Amino acid sequence: MTDPDAAAGAEAGPTEWITGVAGPHTVGLGPWEQEHPGVPLPVDPRYDPDLLAQGDRRNVVDAYRYWTREAIVADLDSRRHPFEVAIENLGHDANIGTVVRTANAFGARTVHIVGRRRWNRRGAMVTDRYQHVQHHPDAESFAAWCAEHDLPIVAVDNQPGSVPLERGSLPRRCVLLFGQEGPGVSGDARRVAGTTVSIAQFGSTRSINVGVAAGIAMHAWVREHADLDAAW
């Protein structure tokens, strides 16, 4: 069966491949027979016959070229890190897609959307097809889920009394919780968080973009806990 990402692209925003005539900046690989002349087609069930025949222009690492989406997700599930990410969706924040894309890049187990169910997928660049995303209607239900799974909640926000991320330590198993662009983590979310950490800033602005903050915090977790030899 053909990988369904082609149909998903029009729905979710930017597609995973560059259309048009192949050239030096084309993403991915062409048909298998063109890229590997004389080499038999793989018979491994992880490979998609249509992608082998037509080429694979998706935004995936080379190790996953020609694989089905289901096979990629299954392999990622065997590699995901034990940290998770949550972001509040109270006003349809356009940064949520960026957070999902970054969570995928750093191997987060799951992204939790807290608040409105609908979110702007454009910034995710179709990575939500490979990343587990879970919805919670409010901070209370999100906290109950975390308690059930014994997962500490670490809010990331520049609030009085927060612990500087640069001087502290993140739990190996945790959920990094981010608020909306502008107001930051809501009062309800701060109340369910066990710890709040802040990111050091030295300029005139009171806050940084939530997508940027999420990337900084996730990378801090990676620096502290990840096996860097397992990176692509």
CATH classification at residue 203: 3.40.1280.10
**Cα distance between residue 167 and residue 200, in whole Å:** 10
Q: What pLDDT score does 210 carry?
A: 94
Q: What pLDDT score does 179 carry?
A: 95
Best CA proximity match to 166, nearest among 203, 190, 198, 214? 198
Q: Are residues 47 and 111 both part of a single domain?
A: no
- Is 55 among the domain residues? yes
Structural domain of residue 62, as residue ranges?
Answer: 32-76
- Is 114 among the domain residues? yes
Rounded average pLDDT per 10-residue block, the chain, 232 residues: 37 40 69 97 97 96 97 98 97 88 98 95 95 98 98 96 95 96 91 97 92 97 97 93
Q: Are residues 102 and 196 both part of a single domain?
A: yes
Q: Are residues 133 and 225 both part of a single domain?
A: yes
Report DSSP state, residue 25. Answer: T
Q: What pLDDT score does 37 carry?
A: 97
Q: What pLDDT score does 67 carry?
A: 98
Q: Are residues 84 and 66 both part of a single domain?
A: no
Domain closes at, from 47, 76, 105: 76
- Is 1 among the domain residues? no
Q: Are residues 129 and 216 both part of a single domain?
A: yes
**Cα distance between residue 123 and residue 111, in whole Å:** 14
**Residue 125 corresponds to which tokens in the numbers above?**
């660049």
Q: What pLDDT score does 15 carry?
A: 45
Residue in the block written with tokens 């590699």: 79
Q: Can you say whether the dihedral through the CA atoms of 160, 166, 172, 175 is positive or negative?
A: positive
Q: Are residues 221 and 106 both part of a single domain?
A: yes
- Please name the helix (run of DSSP H) or strand (run of DSSP E) that holds residue 133, with its range, or none: strand 133-136
Q: Are residues 88 and 194 both part of a single domain?
A: yes
Residue in the block written with tokens 């491994």: 44
Domain closes at, from 21, 52, 76: 76
**pTM of this structure:** 0.87
**Residue 168 corresponds to which tokens in the numbers above?**
């502290």
